[in-house]
Structure 1
Amino acid sequence: MGTVEMSWLLPAALSAEPDAPPRRSTRDWVIDTVCFVLGFGFTVLATADLLGWHTGVVREWHPTDSWMIWLDGVLSGIAGIGLWWRRRFLWPLATLALVLSAFSVAGAFTLLILMLTVAVHCPFRVLAGYAAAAAATNLIFAAARPDSAGSYWETVWWGVMIVVIISLWGMVVRARRELVASWRDRAARAEAEQQLRVEQARTLERTRIAREMHDVLAHRISLLSLHAGALEFRPDAPPAEIAGAASVVRATAHQALQDLREVIGVLRAGQVDDAEPAPERPQPTLSALPALVDEARLAGDRVALDIRVDLGEVPAGTGRTAYRIVQEGLTNARKHAPSAVVRVTVGGACGAGLHIEIVNPLPVGVPGGPPIPGTGVGLIGLAERASLAGGHLTHGSDGATFRLTADLPWPVSR
């Protein structure tokens, strides 16, 4: 209870945090000043009025000996000054206020401030006990400081009513603060969950883009490496062959840059300028498979393509996945089995699924050139892509050939 905040005197207290900051803010200083003026100021004025300093006549309301008036004024003044440190010493001050409530008139406002503080910042069971004790002290107060304008029980009644009103007021403020704190906590959790969902979406999108970049660029760059290696190991080739290989390198490099631009365009989707057309997403369908095979053959690959299905009837999503699988299969064959004949078979039917098989013999002996570098995760990415599409992919060798098969769903269109 050492850090409670006496902010109930201002309307803003209804939306304030229950715990006060370690150091006083400007608002805290204003509230402390108001509490001190009300508590200590009323003590001085009430003591002076009871002693008759203004009129020279001792007041007859709550007639009491002068020694009790002085004792009331001194103790109430101490309690009023203590309001400056009520955040740190709430319970010592609240206990002093409970004792003073048995006979004090001059400390009325100080007692009300401390009681309301207990009501705002303490649990209900603590408040109930404190309010019961404060109500009981009214029995002593009505006898020690009788009111000339009312009876004993009338004084007790009014004292109990004030205790009840202050307690209910403090409970309302406390409930309001807890409700506001709950709303803020829910809003903070909702914002944190939203940020988490955004981060997860970003991570998934970055993973998808990374996979897309691998699928698109690995094929082009492997072709570049193949032709560059041929130029390196055949420096005495006829000029026409060198010029042709250089032309293929230039065209492949240009196409690789174009693919890279399209993939990077995915990152800029939704952020391009209105005057600049958005780049097309690099997602060819299975209809582009013959062009992919022709490109590989032009680069020197030996590819046998067997198409047993109408490529135009394959759904776009399934076709994109199938295209990437064939593209990565050709890239792997080019890396690990150069000059080998790669057989690509695409078949299936609507409702039965799309089946893809890529087979190439394993290389024999030591390759004639340096190996084409790779990431080593291409087949893992293909398996994940096939799984996300609702299919499955397997790959492995039997000692003589390497086989990659994929089965993708081909739902019946409605």
Structure 2
Amino acid sequence: MRRWLVEAALAVVAVALGSFFLATTLNEGGGWPIGAELAAGAVAVAALVRYRRSRPVALALALIALGLLFGLPMGATPVALFAVALYRPAGVTVAVAAVHAVSLATVYLIALGPTRTYWEATISLILLHVILVAVGMLVRAQRRLVRSWAERARVAERGDELRVEQARLAERERIAREMHDVLAHRISLLAVHAGALEVRRDAPAGERQAAGVIRQSAHDALEELRQVIGLLREPAEDRPQPTLADVPALVAQSRAAGERVELELSAAQVPAAVGRHAYRIVQEALTNARKHAPGTRVRVAVAGRAEQGLVVEVGNPLRAGRAVLPGSGTGLVGLRERVQLAGGRLEHGPTPAGEFRLRAWLPWHP
């Protein structure tokens, strides 16, 4: 609908300009019969509406020739030149405008001679067309600039989405590796106990056979687990996974690095899975504090009990200015993914007291 309104408005402008040029020509006693002028004008306006966007150069050249013969089509020529400037490169636009100016000056010189009327008409028409061409080139440049900004915004948005997705996948892979460590340890213990029961001579034959089946099943399950999840393992992470008991050591490392960290740890006998999640939360929170608020005092509190859940809270004063170390913004995304997969909740952001607080709740089932 908007496109047709634009085309109609341009047609009205072309007809109005053409009527002015036709009236001027008739007042001077020249021009073709009205029927021929109307037919030429109708052809010019129809061609303008039809080919202004698709073939602006051919349209402009045709209207230049038609406008030199008839008065009414002259109104469509400026619109055609504007379309060339809007949809074609600057070199093509300048060439078409030069052809029009030279043609106009030559024909008017032959018709009027080097008189004052010739100079006034030629200069005024060429200036009109030059202004329209300049405006069209400016609009084209502005549109290209807006498109480039929009494309940059889309690229940046896709990059942010990709980084967020990579952070989520990385966190899931790390959780999978942790699951592999835990399950591999449990299944190995099961296989060892089943093997010990299988070789007991005082055990009934049925129990020894059942123990053998359990041992073999555990062995097969361990091999399948290693095949499915073992590919996610990185050599640097081939070590025991941290638990809540390792949080004091993590805080000590941060203190050794120059951070002022206060630790309140009032939870004990936390399940290993919950402890691993709590450790990762504290680790990421301390990293963020070191990046975005170096030198501030960081408070770490871990508390909870069975059936009520474990609460991990880390807070530090906000620091004005930019971060000392750059951050990708994906650490908190990974934490949210981890906490959600564990069935918990994560909240973070500035507080009215001027602090940045991260608070996570993890379910704790005995």
CA distance in 1, matches of 2:215, 2:112: 113
- Name the SS of the counterpart of 2:30 in structure 1: coil
| 2:236 is equivalent to residue 384 of structure 1 | yes
Residues 83/127 of structure 1: CA separation in 2 closer, same or farther (3 Å cut)? same
Distance in 2, matches of 1:84 and 1:191, equals 38
Instruction: Report the CA distance shift for 1:110/1:213 in structure 2 as closer, same or farther (over 3 A).
Output: same
Task: Tell me how far apart the structure 2 counterparts of residues 138 and 89 of structure 1 sit (CA, whole Å).
Answer: 22
Write the distance in 1 (CA, Å) between the matches of 2:121 and 2:20: 22
Within 5 Å, give how 1:21-36 maps onto structure 2. Answer: 26-36=1-11
User: Which secondary structure does the structure 2 equivalent of 1:102 belong to?
Assistant: helix
| Cα distance in 2 between the residues matched to 1:376 and 1:218 | 8
Which residue in 2 is equivalent to 1:85? Answer: 50
Asked if 1 retains the 8 angstrom alpha-carbon contact of 2:109 and 2:118, the reply is yes
Alignment check: 8 A CA contact 2:61 2:96 kept: no
Q: Aligned runs of 1:7-406 on 2, under 5 Å? A: 26-40=1-15, 43=18, 59-60=26-27, 62-67=28-33, 70-86=35-51, 87-143=53-109, 151-227=117-193, 237=203, 370=216, 372-373=219-220, 374=222, 375-376=225-226, 381=233, 383-385=235-237
**Residue segments in structure 1 that go unaligned for 5+ positions in a row:** 1-25, 52-58, 243-365, 390-409
Q: What is the CA-CA distance between 1:166 and the residue it aligns to?
A: 1.0
How far apart are residue 207 of structure 1 and its match? 1.5
Deviations 1:91-135 (A, max 9, x none): 332221111232433123311111100011111111111111111
Residue type of the partner of 1:38? Answer: V
Aligned residues: 232
Distance 1:125-1:50 versus aligned 2 partners, 3 A rule: closer
- Identical positions, percent: 32
On the 8 A contact 2:68/2:74 being kept in 1, the answer is no
Q: Distance in 2 between matches of 1:109 and 1:168?
A: 18
**2: CA distance between counterparts of 1:204 and 1:41?**
66
Q: Per-residue displacement from partner, 1:267-325 (whole Å, max 9, x unpaired)?
A: xxxxxxxxxxxxxxxxxxxxxxxxxxxxxxxxxxxxxxxxxxxxxxxxxxxxxxxxxxx
CA displacement 1:41-62 (0-9 Å, x = unmatched) = 6656875x579xxxxxxx52x4
| Compared CA separation, residues 215 and 104, structure 1 to 2 (3 A) | same
Distance 1:379 1:33 in 2: 65
Aligned to 1:101, the other structure's residue is in SS state: helix
Structure 1 counterpart of 2:317: none
Q: TM-score, normalised by structure 1?
A: 0.47
CA RMSD of aligned residues (A): 4.1
Could you tell me which runs of 5 or more consecutive residues in structure 2 were left unpaired when the two chains were aligned. Answer: 242-252, 258-366
